[in-house]
Amino acid sequence: MFAVETNRTVSLVKGQWQQVQELDIPDNGLDVFLKDFGKVTLFRTMLKDQRRHYVVYLPEEVPFERDDFSKIHDQHWQIEQYHRAIKQVCHIEHFQVRSEQPVRNHIFAAVLAFVYLQKMQIAQEFMNCRSSDLT
């Protein structure tokens, strides 16, 4: 699964391209052809009054409906939250060393900080892992 921009062109019938924002996408998704890729299922979601489009690629003809999409989308969002927190809150990319062992130590400390923050969040010491909530 990956996000596509609203102006991305897809085809319902090979050779007739149109932007995803122009399509009427049913709740259970729409099978389309993605240019230079192949057949995918297109989904539309609303997040903070903004339409977002996602495509799901399954190499085999497997039934895939809205509930399946919602489950994968939730997992995708958790991964995005992890990356945001490890970068913005734990500062994994901010280090002043260049040799291998200190870099490894910094990465380990950042991951350890993330795990500690998750432990605190589970204990309900705070609601969200945002830098503004922790200062």
Same domain, yes or no, for 86 and 119? yes
Per residue in 29-41, pLDDT (tens digit) is: 999 998 888 889 9
101 within some domain: yes
Q: Count structural domains, the chain.
A: 2
- Per-residue pLDDT tens digits for 69-118: 889 888 988 888 899 999 999 999 998 888 999 999 999 999 999 999 98
- Looking at the structure, tell me whether residues 95 and 119 fall in a common domain: yes
> Is pTM beyond 0.85 here?
no
Q: Is 78 in the same domain as 114?
A: yes
**Is 135 part of any domain?**
no
Of 61, 76, 109, which residue constitutes the final position of a domain? 61
Residue 10 included in any domain: yes
Query: What pLDDT digit, counting tens, does each position of 13-58 carry?
Result: 877 999 999 999 998 899 999 888 888 999 999 878 888 999 998 8
| Residue range of the domain that includes 110 | 67-127
Residue 2's DSSP bridge partners are 55
Is 56 in the same domain as 80?
no
Residues 57 and 83 reside in one and the same domain? no
Residue 134 lies in a domain: no
Looking at the structure, do residues 11 and 29 belong to the same domain, yes or no? yes
74 and 57 both lie in a single domain = no
